[in-house]
Amino acid sequence: MIKIRRKRGFTLIELIAVLVIMAILALIVTPLVMNIIRKAKISARKRSVDAYGRSVELAIASHLLDTGTFPTNADLPNLQVEYSGSNVVCNVMAMKENGGLYLSECKVNNVDVKDSSTEDGWYHYGTRDLTDTEYVDIYGDALKTASVAYYNTNGNPVEDYRTLTIDYKGKPVSCDVTVNYDGTIYMTKCKVSNVDVTSDTEDGYYHYGSIVNPPSAVNDLLAKANPVTVTNYTDGNTGEMYTFEHPATTQTGALTDYRYIGANPNNYVTFNNELWRIIGVFTVDDGNGNTEQRIKIIRNEKLSSGMKWGSNYANEWSTATLNTYLNGDYYNGLDATSKSMVADTKYYLGGAANSIGGAEAYYNWERGTTVYSGNSTSWNGKIALMYPSDYTYTYALGVDNTCYTDGVDCRTDNGGTPTKGWIYNTNSNSFQWLLSPRSVNSENVFFLDPSGYVGGNVLNSNSFGVRPTLYLSSSVKISSGDGSEQGPYQLSL
């Protein structure tokens, strides 16, 4: 007989025991799970508040970058806060002077959120210190704002940014600043609290405006020039150019030029892999009636102590022996880059009966039409020599009144001190040719005597020292250097 074994089920007592155990476990686990869920929600709400706070912090930084100042309590409702997430509403404590912002009594989706991690229970935001680059940017924007305001008031760009009232608050910022003709601004060699700050732009300039090219060398130098209101040498920045205004002459209108004066200005420049000096910035004619501002430079050392100005006793520069050499063999011997920097310019050939006179008198007769019979009053070309006025203006504004007012007296035995002018310093103990001829005969040319005075009673067939002088193209730029002898300006196109 087959026996059938029946399976035994749970007894009632066993089932009751299981249910009791499950109930006990539920009582233990449920609060733990609910607490985890509660903490997760609190954490999510805090993250929402923090995300909102960080967004407000960025809005504060943006306001600072745009205006140069931290927002005030009145500015807070107008901040552009870019935040997307759960609805966050907080009470806002007034802004601190350093940009600190505190949030409290925050609600996320209408649920209270508190910050137990701080002693005061406030969420703290907005005290991030700006980087040095950001400080430069704030300064640049403030400078641009001031420049635009000046233009709107005066109808023309500011000539000297240092005359602007700049609304800037932050760490001390100093830069080499160029304000362009259209009011756009370039800054380079910036320092914040005397620490160098380098721009990450391709050309190394901080740009404030629509022009993307760095400023011309002319604008670089003009940005540092002393204004026309500086009428005494020691009252200005003696390393930079001084401003001179001239009335109209026979061949030119009223002009303003900028010259380096004194014994050792920052006017050194590298040209043709040689050391040259910048005479200044002048408004010149390109030979076709078009005028523009250009830099005039002169070789620091003489080419030779013995070269003839002319021959056949003719003091006509257009056919002079020295002209032929300078604009022929010498010019062709320049390196390719330097040759491309030299601009055709109208040089004035006005003369005088004698050399008695000072810088202003020389300036006028150089640009006059008093010449020996048949001689030219001007010449268009690339390379020439310096004018007598170029030399005597280095003694202007009180540098040496004797040398400035009469070039003939510019020597120690007549009360002058030639060494106070930078042109003489590099050419002592040597005669040197000047560009201007005498007007009373066909033989004599003006020259610089080794003792420092301007003379005119010498034959052009003598052999004197020669320092080539030329005008750079207006497109030339300064790529580096500060103009000192140790750091001469480096030029680029």
Mean pLDDT of 146-164: 75
CA distance 100 to 124: 7
**Mean pLDDT score of the chain, rounded to an integer?**
84
Phi, psi of 196 (to 5 degrees): -60, 140
Q: What is the DSSP string of 335-352?
A: -HHHHHHB--EEEE---B
Q: What is the mean pLDDT of residues 175-198?
A: 81
For the ranges 121-130, 182-191, 296-305, 316-325, the lowest mean pLDDT is seen at 121-130
pLDDT more than 70, % of the chain: 84
The whole-angstrom separation of Cα 79 and Cα 92 is 13
Least confident of 21-35, 144-158, 169-183, 190-204: 21-35
pLDDT for residue 363 is more than 50: yes
Q: What is the pLDDT of residues 388-424, one digit of tens each?
A: 999 999 999 999 999 999 999 998 888 899 999 999 9
In this structure, which amino acid lies at residue 333?
G
Banded pLDDT at 107 (limits 50, 70, 90): confident
Determine the longest span between alpha carbons in the chain, in angstroms: 161
Locate tokens 């009011």: which residue? 183
Q: What pLDDT shows up at residue 210?
A: 47
Quick one: pLDDT at residue 169?
Answer: 72
Domain ranges for the chain: 26-125, 132-215, 226-492
Q: What is the dihedral of CA 247, 253, 255, 260, to 10 degrees?
A: -90
Measure the N-to-C terminal CA separation of the chain; round to a whole number of Å.
118
pLDDT of residue 99: 65
Q: How confident is the model at residue 258 (pLDDT cuts 50, 70, 90)?
A: very high
* Per-residue pLDDT at 33 exceeds 90: no
CA dihedral 292→298→304→308, nearest 10 degrees, is: 40
β-bridge partners, 299: 276
Per DSSP, the residues of 351-379 read: -BSSS---HHHHHHHHTS---STT--SEE
What distance lies between CA 329 and its chain's CA centroid? 37
Banded pLDDT at 325 (limits 50, 70, 90): very high
DSSP secondary structure string, 225-294?
Answer: SPPTT--SGGGS-TTS-EEEEE---SSS-SEEEEE--SSS-S-EEEETTEEEEEEEEEEEE-SSS-EEEE
Rounded distance between C-alpha atoms, residue 204 and residue 210, angstroms = 16
- Helices (runs of H) and strands (runs of E) counted in the chain: 10, 24
Kindly tell me if the per-residue pLDDT of 452 is higher than 70.
yes
pLDDT class of 126 with cuts at 50, 70, 90: low
What's the pLDDT score for residue 280?
A: 98
Q: How many angstroms separate the Cα of 108 from the Cα of each of 50, 111, 265? A: 11, 5, 66
CB 83 within 8 A of CB 52: yes
Of the pLDDT bands very low, low, confident and very high (cuts 50, 70, 90), residue 150 is confident
Q: How confident is the model at residue 212 (pLDDT cuts 50, 70, 90)?
A: very low
Average pLDDT over residues 234-238: 96
pLDDT of 114: 72
Q: What is the pLDDT of residue 421?
A: 96
- pLDDT score at 412: 84
Instruction: Please indicate whether residue 88 or residue 377 has the higher confidence score (pLDDT).
Output: 377
Q: Where are the beta strands (DSSP E) in 122-265?
A: 123-125, 173-179, 185-192, 195-197, 206-208, 242-246, 255-259
pLDDT at residue 66 in the model:
73
Tell me the pTM.
0.61
